[in-house]
Structure formats: structure tokens, C-alpha cells
Structure 1
Amino acid sequence: MGLLRLAGRVLAVGILGWSVVLCGVFYFGYRTTESKRKYKVLARSPLSSLPRERVPGVTLIRPLKGLDPNLYANLESGFQQDYSNLEIIFAVASDSDPSIEIAEKLISKYPDVPSRILVGETLSGVNPKVNNLIKAFYGAHNDILWIVDSNVQLNSGVCARSVDALQRPSRRGKRVGLVHHIPMAVHPSLDIGAQVERVFVNTVHFKMYTAINELAIDSCVMGKSNMYRRSDVERLEVPSKTSKSVQEPQGSIEAFSRYLAEDNMIARAIWHDLGLDHAITDDIVGTNLGDMSLRQYIDRRVRWIRVRKYMVWLATILEPLTESVTLIPLIIWSLKNLTGARYLELLAFPLFAGWLGVDLAIINTYKYASPHYISPIGNSLPQFIAFWCLRELLAFPIYLMGVFGSNVGWRSGKYKMIAQGEAIPQGSSV
């Protein structure tokens, strides 16, 4: 057997071995959600029935900028929490922001819920969300902070269940430093980009996010809805002593303004630097999509690939091997290499169908936990399948666009990604 042929066989075995591992991860994610399928109503936390003085105080912070889709209902869901000791702060950078009017209406509608608007940002770094959060972070009356994006809609029991999870030891017996929730894309427009984004969030992102967090092998957090203690974040020094960052260390929330993915970096610091675990509740938080063109979808995916490759480079390198359009052809090649069998290309259709079936099975298990039982696939299964196919076909070209490049656009800014996941304005020198 020639050396080249031997190398091919070793590679084929490796690809098939990886495929088995990935199937195990997918199955684990499915079993995790399937175990909750029988509960069409999430269990109510005992904290929901206790008076104010008997539950820990929580400050819900909503950073606002502009009029996000479904903004009124999103913000109102915070006032409707079954939790007696909740403060709400709306953080707004400018007093001319149109979201202020909606926040004021809700404050008037719910006078029994302590709530206020804090206007003004602290220019600490490139991340406008963190700059907007700083005043609310220090102005909150409670140590437990719950940061929720303005496009997120919540179930009424999320807060109480999250405080429960924050106070209990993790499955590994460690103190929990952060509680987060699985996002589900809801209310997309008819735009192709919005429909494809819904497919991505509700299939690819969901199954990997769920499995990694259930396995608890490392920090994996998306910042749509995160709860942590201010006192823990204030203990952080970023970058940590082991980091090769080009910037000088800072402490507390301000330190994370150098990152575009501040949510992920806060979570990683809590996990690695403080040695605290994360917890994820059974709740699903609805992320309202609104309008999104196909170009905007592609730009969004490219941006986050470029951000991730500087934070978790190994996971980024392996990403194509988690996509059907790249892995299935590799599986067929591996089988042909090892067996010499003919016509194995015919396996492509059942393999793709099986991949789709796994995605549909997984998302069907968590629809009961979504806000107001919103369907994760919409009203048309054939339409969802069509956009699923488009998403799969776009995955590898988007990956190539993302992995070869460092410049990103986010909101109104243009940035260049540098070491350790930090960002600098385009044209700046390091």
C-alpha cells in the first residue's frame, strides 16, 4: 500500500470518526430537548409566589437604540415577569432616541414596577452596547443584573427560574456565575434574508448551542438574555494575566468594550478566570428579526465568523465539518475510499434528508417553551424546508468569505479584528 493511499485511508477513518462524534452531539442535543417536550407549560418557580422582601433583588437592564421590531411587546414582557423584587432600567445613549417614547409609555402603564430611563453613554471602547450599559451597570440598585437585548421577548417566568438557577449549585457542584437562555428567531419579515436567518438560529445554532451547554465542556454563551452578579464582573481583569492582548488591562464592565462580542467574553471570563459555572434554564427567549435582506444575512454571518476566529480559532476551523454541504460529500468520499463500493453518491439524498429530519425534530421539541408558543418554523413547512436548503447551500461560501478577512461592519461602525478577539476602528494602528 502506497504512502499516499495509506494517508487517504487514515483521513477517511478520521472523517467517519468525526461524523460519529457529531452525530452523538446532535443526538445529545435532541435527547436534551426531547426530555422537556412533555412539559407544555414550564414549571413555575417557587420564587414567583414569594413577597418582595423574601427574594433577591434583580435589575433588568435593557440597552436601547432605535426602534427594534416588536419593541413595545419586547419591553413590556419585562414588566410582566412573575417576580416581586424586580427593577427595570432602560439604557439609552442619546436623549433623542425614538425608543425613549415607548419606554416612557410602559413606565406609566406599570407604575408598581420600579423602572427608569438612564440617558448617556460612557465612551470606554469600540463597543457601543457596552458604552451604553456602563451607567446602568453601576446605577442598578441590585447586585443581580439581567441584561436583555431590546429585540428579545420573554416568558413571564424567566426571571424567577433564572434566579433559582443562579442560586443553586451547578450539576458539577460549583457556584453558578451566569445564567443564560436559548434564543429562538421569531417574527421574520417576508424578506429572504430574514427567513434564512430564522432557519439558522432555530436549527444550526440551536442544536450546537444546546449540546455544548449541556455537555458543559466550555463557555458557550450568546448575549440575548444573560443574568450575573455585578460583584463577580467587578472582580474581572481584562485581559487576564495569561492573555497576549495588545491593550492595557482594565477591570469590570468597561474592560469588555474592546470586544464586539462582549457577551461571549464576559461569559468566558466568568468561567475561566473566576472558575464559576454557567446554567441554562428551560426557557426560550424570542429574538424578533423583522426585515433582513439576503445581503444583510450574509454580511451578518461573515461578521460573526470573523469575530469568532479571533476568539475560538479551533472551533472556527472545524466549523465546515459541522455543515451538511461539506461533511456529507466527505462521508461519501471516505466510504468509497475504504470500501471501493460504487454508486455511493446515491447516499447523498437520504443523508441530506436525515440531516433535515434531525433539525425538524429538534426544533419541534422546544416550541412549547417559546414566548406565546410561537412556532419556530412558521406557518409553512414546505417554505421552511426551501429556506433550509438555501441556508445549507450558502454555508460554505459564507464561511470562506468570513475566514479570509478581518474587517467587519457593525451598526454604524467599521472595525478591524485583532488578536484575542479585540477590535479597533478601521484605519487605526495597533
Structure 2
Amino acid sequence: MALMAMDDALAIFLTVLAVIVLVLDFILLCLHFLSIIYCRIHCNRKPVGLVREELPGVSILKPLVGVDPNFAENLETFFTLDYPKYELLLCVHEECDPAISIIKPLMEKYPNVDSQLFIGESCDEAGTHHEHIGGERVGINPKVNNMNQGYKCSKYDLIMVSDAGCHANNDTLYDLVSHMTETVGVVHQMPYVLPRKGFASIVEMVYFGGAHARMYLGANAIGINCVTGMSSMMRKSILEDAGGMSELGKYIAEDYFMGKACWDRGFTVKVTSLFAMQNSGTYSLKRFKSRMARWCKLRLATVPPLVIFEPLTECLALGACTAWAVYFLFHVHPLVFFLCHSLVWFILDYIQLLGVQNGPLPFNKFEYTVAWITREVLAILAFIEALFDPNIKWRTGTFRLKWGGQVMEVKDEDASKGCRCYLV
């Protein structure tokens, strides 16, 4: 009798589990369709109805460390923005950073652009004098420490943070400002990529325009806090009320907590119509996987329950679980279902990518197929790496994530026991 009761209890548990998996699969499928529709309606729309003379000023913070082959090209696009009133606050980590050799000529080339250079540390012990040398360490986050000087000197209430790898276009500031209404505290751009040479570039484009867009646009469509600090705009007044830049400095995922500060104060967060166009000159499949692992680590540390749900947002893991569920409940052949399930997601990701690209893709369908499969496999490897290695390496140090999103700095010899990923 006891064995029969145990068998009945196990059967009930497995039935409930199978139903939960099917419901989750249905919800994510609906989210996929929602993100496709939302992209078609909301994205790739140029801002209209703005009066140039009435546009508010914007302070652009550029935290910069090192250079890559596209660094000068990307940075120059911010000197040539078609916007009536903005300042460019260029923040580097230390005085001997090679980025300075590119920044200063651009400042001289565009003397009419309101730009300033801020240097966090001196490279020599004496500390060579410079009016903007001497950054203040406000927390553990090296990016926040890097741009804190520029933030304190910013003139305008609207603060845009833009990473070094972003390539701006003339409508970038117009688009951000057009979404910054009275009830909005943060606006942000969904990351996408400019086409570049090589298979790794195709994988990045397939990911950011497909799987990433699916979750990013879907989350924003239903009002979930999903903010990336790669290219975003916030109200300085709200951030000051939340404790200022120093409050964000104790988190690595400063963008998430920036959005949370707005929600907590009754403001909303909006995604813009145009995308943050990434144009890094240094990229590879290895760097891509490390980057995905780093983002996964941040999500798991910030929202711990994602340890269970994170892999189930990916096609292969969810397809395998759903194949088991339909076999258990309806005796459908699991391999047949898995292949059909993967094909549906493959097609929907392609439709999503076409919507984001808003034009012809710079690669053919065969290249898309290989890149899509590669990305799905790398997603599993990135999740495994995120589970077993809590360390994140930035160019200025190595950090260990703690639950809740806070971090602690660790010595390189301690961090060398696990893999490292780079903040890009």
C-alpha cells in the first residue's frame, strides 16, 4: 500500500510538473509573438513632432577604457550629433590610457562641441597636474567610478550614458528625448549590432536581433524592468533622490538598479524606437560566450530565482523539457516534438530578426541557420559557466558577485581559479 501511495504521489507530481512546463512554453511562445508585434509597431520609428528650439539639454557620459579598431569611428559619431544642446563628458580610467590619444585630437577637430575630458587616476606617483585628474571612488563598480567625475560636473538634468562600443546616428538623442515624457524616469535603447566581417559578427547579429530582442522587447512590452546601461538616459534629479551615483556604485548591474529607482518613485521606464548600435572592433565567438556568461551572472545574482527559469527561456532546454512533458501526458514521440518545437522557434527568431533589421540581412539563410544553432549551443555553455564561476573580470580588476546584485573585489590569484568574463 505504501509503495502504491508513493507511486500515486510521484505520478501526480510528474503530471503537475509536465503541465507547468507546457504552460511556461505557451507563455514564452505568446511572449515571442508579442515581441514580434511590438517590434513592428514600436521600433525603427523616427521621432516626430519635436520643436528644435524647445529641446532640453543633454549631458552625455562616455566611460572609456582602452581602444579597439573601431574606437575612433564610434566616438566621432558623438561629436557630430545633430542636436541643438548637449555636452560630451569623456571619462577615462587613468592618465596613460591609450584612449586619450584619440580623444584629444577629436576635441581639437570639433572645437564647437561642448566636450570635457575627465581622468580618474594619474599613472605616476607624483600625479601630473591636470584640472580633471583625480577621480573619486564611490563604490565597487569600476564603470560608475570611471564616470563619476563627469556626472558631478554635468550641467543638464537629462544624463545619457553611452558605452565606448556604441555607434550613434543623427537621431539618437532626438529618439531618447522624445520618449522622456513627464512620467518617465529612464529611457533606454535595445542593443543591436552593425554588420561587420566574420562569422562571429553574424552570431552576434542573430542573437541580438532574435533571442535577445524576443526577451528584451517582450519584457518592456508588458512592463518588466529590463534596462541596459549600454545606451540609456536618466533624470539626474531622480538619481540624486535615490542617493546619487555613489548608490549605484555598489552594484555591477547599475542599469537594473537605475530602473528600479525610477519604478520605486512612481516613474516609468521606456525602451526607445531606435537601437543602440554596437560596433566593437574586437569580437570573436569566445568573447561572445564570455559576454553572455557575464550577463547571465548578473541576472542570476540580481534575481536569484532565475537560476531555475533562466535555462528554460532558451529554445533547446525548453524544447527538451516540453518534449518530455508532451510525451508524459500525450505519448507524442519526444524527438519529433523537439525538432518541430525547435523549427518553430527558429522561424520566429528569423521573423524577429527581420523586424529588428528593418531591411535586407547582410547574410544568407544558410549562414543564419549555422549562426542560430551556434548561438543556442553557446547559450547553454554560458549558463553552465555562470553557475560555476561567480567572478567577473573588468580591465581594472576582478569582482565576485553576491546575491542581490552587490559585488566584492577579489585578488587576481583568487579569481584565477575560475573563468573570467569581460565587461563590455
**Do the structures match in fold with TM over 0.5?**
yes
TM-score bucket (shorter structure):
0.7 to 0.9
The one-letter code of the counterpart of 2:159 is: L
Q: Map 1:408-419; keep pairs closer than 5 Å.
A: 408-419=392-403
Inter-partner Cα distance in structure 2 for 1:116 and 1:427: 33
Report the alpha carbon displacement of residue 221 of structure 1 after superposing the two structures with TM: 0.4
**317, 324, 338: which one pairs with 2:308?**
317
Which residue number in structure 2 is paired with residue 253 of structure 1? 245
> CA RMSD of the aligned region, Å?
2.3
Inter-partner Cα distance in structure 2 for 1:55 and 1:197: 35
Which residue number in structure 2 is paired with residue 179 of structure 1? 187
Report the alpha carbon displacement of residue 188 of structure 1 after superposing the two structures with TM: 4.7
Q: Map 1:215-226; keep pairs closer than 5 Å.
A: 215-216=222-223, 218-226=224-232
CA separation of 1:316 and 1:289: change in aligned 2, threshold 3 A = farther
Provide the secondary structure at the position in 2 that maps to 1:146. strand
Maintained 8 Å contact 1:44/1:161: yes
Structure 1 residues 397-423: Cα deviation after superposition (integer angstroms, max 9, x where no partner):
331221234223232422211232111
Inter-partner Cα distance in structure 1 for 2:31 and 2:101: 45
Provide the secondary structure at the position in 2 that maps to 1:267. helix
Maintained 8 Å contact 1:219/1:278: yes
Report the alpha carbon displacement of residue 378 of structure 1 after superposing the two structures with TM: 3.5
Q: Map 1:320-339; keep pairs closer than 5 Å.
A: 320-339=311-330
> Following superposition, which runs of at least 4 residues in structure 1 exceed 6 angstroms of deviation?
none
CA separation of 1:97 and 1:410: change in aligned 2, threshold 3 A = closer
Inter-partner Cα distance in structure 2 for 1:97 and 1:253: 23
Inter-partner Cα distance in structure 1 for 2:296 and 2:92: 28
Structure 1 residues 348-390: Cα deviation after superposition (integer angstroms, max 9, x where no partner):
223212111111101111224xxxx7x7x54343223212101
Inter-partner Cα distance in structure 2 for 1:259 and 1:69: 30
Report the alpha carbon displacement of residue 124 of structure 1 after superposing the two structures with TM: 2.2
- Tell me whether 1:350 sits opposite 2:340 in the alignment: yes
- Tell me whether 1:157 sits opposite 2:171 in the alignment: yes
**394, 406, 415: which one pairs with 1:422?**
406
Structure 1 stretches lacking a partner, 5+ long: 170-174, 237-250
Which residue number in structure 2 is paired with residue 398 of structure 1? 382
Maintained 8 Å contact 2:263/2:269: yes
The one-letter code of the counterpart of 1:184 is: Y
- Tell me whether 1:86 sits opposite 2:63 in the alignment: no
Structure 1 residues 319-366: Cα deviation after superposition (integer angstroms, max 9, x where no partner):
11111111112222111111224x342232232121111111011112
Report the alpha carbon displacement of residue 279 of structure 1 after superposing the two structures with TM: 1.4
Structure 2 stretches lacking a partner, 5+ long: 1-6, 121-134, 415-424
CA separation of 1:14 and 1:277: change in aligned 2, threshold 3 A = same
The one-letter code of the counterpart of 1:143 is: D
Maintained 8 Å contact 1:188/1:291: no
Which residue number in structure 2 is paired with residue 292 of structure 1? 283
**212, 216, 230: which one pairs with 1:209?**
216
Inter-partner Cα distance in structure 2 for 1:327 and 1:93: 42
Inter-partner Cα distance in structure 2 for 1:44 and 1:294: 35
Q: Map 1:2-17; keep pairs closer than 5 Å.
A: 2-17=8-23
Report the alpha carbon displacement of residue 104 of structure 1 after superposing the two structures with TM: 2.4
Maintained 8 Å contact 2:189/2:275: yes
- Tell me whether 1:147 sits opposite 2:161 in the alignment: yes
CA separation of 1:293 and 1:161: change in aligned 2, threshold 3 A = closer
**27, 31, 36: which one pairs with 2:37?**
31
**189, 203, 206: which one pairs with 1:199?**
206
Inter-partner Cα distance in structure 1 for 2:68 and 2:218: 30
Provide the secondary structure at the position in 2 that maps to 1:408. strand
Provide the secondary structure at the position in 2 that maps to 1:366. helix
The one-letter code of the counterpart of 1:32 is: Y
Structure 1 residues 101-153: Cα deviation after superposition (integer angstroms, max 9, x where no partner):
32223323333322221222322222221111111001111121111111101
CA separation of 1:295 and 1:259: change in aligned 2, threshold 3 A = same
Maintained 8 Å contact 1:305/1:316: no
- Tell me whether 1:104 sits opposite 2:96 in the alignment: no
Q: Which moved more, 1:75-84 or 1:54-63?
A: 75-84
Report the alpha carbon displacement of residue 298 of structure 1 after superposing the two structures with TM: 2.9
The one-letter code of the counterpart of 2:377 is: L
The one-letter code of the counterpart of 2:410 is: Q
Maintained 8 Å contact 1:143/1:231: yes
Inter-partner Cα distance in structure 2 for 1:412 and 1:163: 33
Percent identical among aligned pairs is 27
TM-score normalized by the length of structure 2: 0.86
Report the alpha carbon displacement of residue 69 of structure 1 after superposing the two structures with TM: 4.4
Which residue number in structure 1 is paired with residue 299 of structure 2? 308
Provide the secondary structure at the position in 2 that maps to 1:321. helix
Structure 1 residues 265-305: Cα deviation after superposition (integer angstroms, max 9, x where no partner):
22222222x22111111011211233334333333322332
Maintained 8 Å contact 2:209/2:352: no
Provide the secondary structure at the position in 1 that maps to 2:232. strand
Maintained 8 Å contact 2:206/2:353: no
Which residue number in structure 2 is paired with residue 116 of structure 1? 116
The one-letter code of the counterpart of 1:315 is: L
Maintained 8 Å contact 1:88/1:116: yes
Which residue number in structure 2 is paired with residue 45 of structure 1? 48
Maintained 8 Å contact 2:179/2:272: yes
Q: Which moved more, 1:402-411 or 1:356-365?
A: 402-411
Which residue number in structure 2 is paired with residue 68 of structure 1? 68
Maintained 8 Å contact 2:203/2:375: yes
Which residue number in structure 2 is paired with residue 241 of structure 1? none
Maintained 8 Å contact 1:60/1:89: yes
Structure 1 residues 1-55: Cα deviation after superposition (integer angstroms, max 9, x where no partner):
8222222222111111111111111110000112257x6xx334333x523xx32
Inter-partner Cα distance in structure 1 for 2:185 and 2:98: 34
Maintained 8 Å contact 2:139/2:249: yes
The one-letter code of the counterpart of 1:46 is: G
Q: Which moved more, 1:356-365 or 1:412-421?
A: 412-421
Inter-partner Cα distance in structure 1 for 2:369 and 2:405: 35
Inter-partner Cα distance in structure 2 for 1:162 and 1:407: 33
Which residue number in structure 1 is paired with residue 125 of structure 2? none
Maintained 8 Å contact 1:270/1:276: yes
Maintained 8 Å contact 1:221/1:263: yes
Provide the secondary structure at the position in 1 that maps to 2:269. strand
Structure 1 residues 37-95: Cα deviation after superposition (integer angstroms, max 9, x where no partner):
7x6xx334333x523xx321111111111113422222222233332011111112223
Provide the secondary structure at the position in 2 that maps to 1:75. helix
**353, 362, 367: which one pairs with 2:357?**
367
TM-score normalized by the length of structure 1: 0.85
Which residue number in structure 2 is paired with residue 234 of structure 1? 240
